[in-house]
Amino acid sequence: MNTQPLLTTEEVAVLLGVKPATVYAYVSRGLLSSRRNADGKNSMFAKADVDAFLAGRRRTTTPGIQTGITLIRDGGLYFRGRDATVLARTTAYEAVASLLWTGDLDDVPFPVDRNLSDLARAVTRPLPGTARLTDNLRVTVAAAAAADPLRFDTSPAAVVATGRQLLAAMVEGLPPRHAIPIRQMPFAEALWMRLTGERPTESGLRALNAALVLLADHDIAASTLAARVAASTRAHPYAVVGAGLAALDGPLHGAASGLAYTLLADSMTDSGPMVTISERLRSGVMVPGFGHTLYPAGDPRAAALFDLLDDGPARDTALRLDESLRTRSGTPANIDLALAALALHHRMPPDAGEAIFAVARTAGWLAHALEEYGDRPLRFRPSGTYAGAQPA
């Protein structure tokens, strides 16, 4: 006779600190075993199985993160099973954001809340001239959070609605370079108006939209891990985006495109790209815009974006640099160099690539937050190895 204690789905959810739907997800992924009760209608769980599952998910330095958002495999990038490079050529960023958040490719416009837009402009206007575009983004996100009394609502529908409205506000907080028409614009066009004084063209908007799509997510990058850690504490969506922006600020992450911009601009002078590369190598500094540990054969995001850029000195020089380093050292260009070429070709400022990266990745951070909100809270708790003075 089996006297092993059995638990209902609701009891298991309470024990694990998750929602019942998450318990069913664990079962569907084969992580937890269940059985039917006597009437065959409800699931029951052996307490010993639940205890073993819980023990395996205790806080660790690097808890296993199971995600259904992004796959990087065999040199390809996929969002929920769809090739990101194909999406970049065919799909609006708004639809890809929906795909990351809900699993459905719904092209839902990002609504512009006039009160929130006024607030974004008011809080960013006093920033000094030395402020970077990402400084505007951080200030806007903080102000938007303060203005939202329901910011701690982490239900999926609320997070998606917040994401769409926040992305629109982030762009509204950037200094305009055109007279902004009062109409609903595609997101790429609205961002274009804040990045360059050039008249928007079909090919330019297509390339900018592609850059947004290609950068929307990239598995558990450093900024995404920061966002997930924040979400695990049940920080609200604005704070999650703030955490992602903080980690993105480093020169080895989102700010790398600015370094690639300088490299590419120097390479377009009379001295030529080879002299620029030679000077970088001789000084012992890294050559920005090249190499990626996940794509030893070449970054597919860079190739896709280069294909969509108009011919011109920036694109041509970038491709010459790529060919030279790829041939000489087997180090192909990455997305940072392609972003730099996009920015230079359309007379955007040096930090435009970083801003594009930050705005694009906001969709990914919120997608990962949605997954984390459905998992056990506070599961990220590393322990340090103490190496200081011992107590007396």
Span 21-52, pLDDT tens digits:
888 888 887 788 888 876 767 788 888 888 88
* Per-residue confidence (pLDDT) for residue 331, from 0 to 100: 86
Burial class of residue 114, CB neighbours in 10 A (0-12, 13-18, 19+): exposed
Span 125-135, pLDDT tens digits:
999 999 999 99
* Distance of alpha carbon 260 from alpha carbon 249, whole angstroms: 15
Beta bridge partner(s), residue 8: 44
* Distance of alpha carbon 234 from alpha carbon 26, whole angstroms: 21
* Distance of alpha carbon 305 from alpha carbon 177, whole angstroms: 24
Angle at 41 between CA 40 and CA 43, to 5 degrees: 90
Identify the helix (H) or strand (E) that includes residue 71.
Answer: strand 70-73
* Distance of alpha carbon 109 from alpha carbon 383, whole angstroms: 43
The token pair that represents 49 in the structure block: 């199985």
Catalytic member of 218, 292, 345, 346? 292
Catalytic member of 322, 336, 351, 375? 336
| Beta-strand pair 70-73/43-46 | unpaired
160, 101 Cβ separation under 8 angstroms: yes
Burial class of residue 139, CB neighbours in 10 A (0-12, 13-18, 19+): middle
DSSP 380: B
**Taking all residues of the chain, what is their mean pLDDT, rounded to a whole number?**
90
State the greatest distance between any 2 C-alpha atoms of the chain, in Å, as a whole number: 87
* Per-residue confidence (pLDDT) for residue 283, from 0 to 100: 65
* Distance of alpha carbon 101 from alpha carbon 365, whole angstroms: 10
Beta bridge partner(s), residue 77: 72
* Per-residue confidence (pLDDT) for residue 14, from 0 to 100: 77
Neighbours of 294 (CB within 10 A): 13
CA-closest candidate to residue 191, choices 21, 368, 358: 358
Q: Which residue has the tokens 């108009």?
A: 310
Percent of residues, the chain, with pLDDT higher than 90: 64
* Per-residue confidence (pLDDT) for residue 38, from 0 to 100: 67
Domains of the chain: 6-56 (1.10.1660.10), 70-253+351-373 (1.10.580.10), 256-345 (1.10.230.10)
What string of DSSP letters covers 42-109? SEEEEHHHHHHHHHHTS-BSS-----SSEEEETTEEEETTEEHHHHHHHS-HHHHHHHHHHSS-----
Active site residue 236: no
The token pair that represents 247 in the structure block: 């980690």
Split at pLDDT 50, 70, 90, the class of 325 is confident
Active site residue 135: no
Span 329-378, pLDDT tens digits:
788 999 999 999 999 999 999 999 999 999 999 999 999 999 999 988 88
* Per-residue confidence (pLDDT) for residue 1, from 0 to 100: 43
Span 246-259, pLDDT tens digits:
999 988 788 889 98
233, 210 Cβ separation under 8 angstroms: no
Three-state DSSP at 295 gives coil
Split at pLDDT 50, 70, 90, the class of 60 is very low
* Distance of alpha carbon 254 from alpha carbon 207, whole angstroms: 19
* Per-residue confidence (pLDDT) for residue 4, from 0 to 100: 66
Percent of residues, the chain, with pLDDT higher than 70: 94
* Least confident interval from 76-80, 228-232, 253-257, 262-266: 253-257
| Mean pLDDT calculated for residue range 276-301 | 82
* Distance of alpha carbon 348 from alpha carbon 346, whole angstroms: 6
* Per-residue confidence (pLDDT) for residue 26, from 0 to 100: 84
* Per-residue confidence (pLDDT) for residue 62, from 0 to 100: 52
CA-closest candidate to residue 164, choices 255, 87, 241: 241
Task: Report the sign of the C-alpha dihedral through residues 131, 132, 133, 138, in that order.
Answer: negative
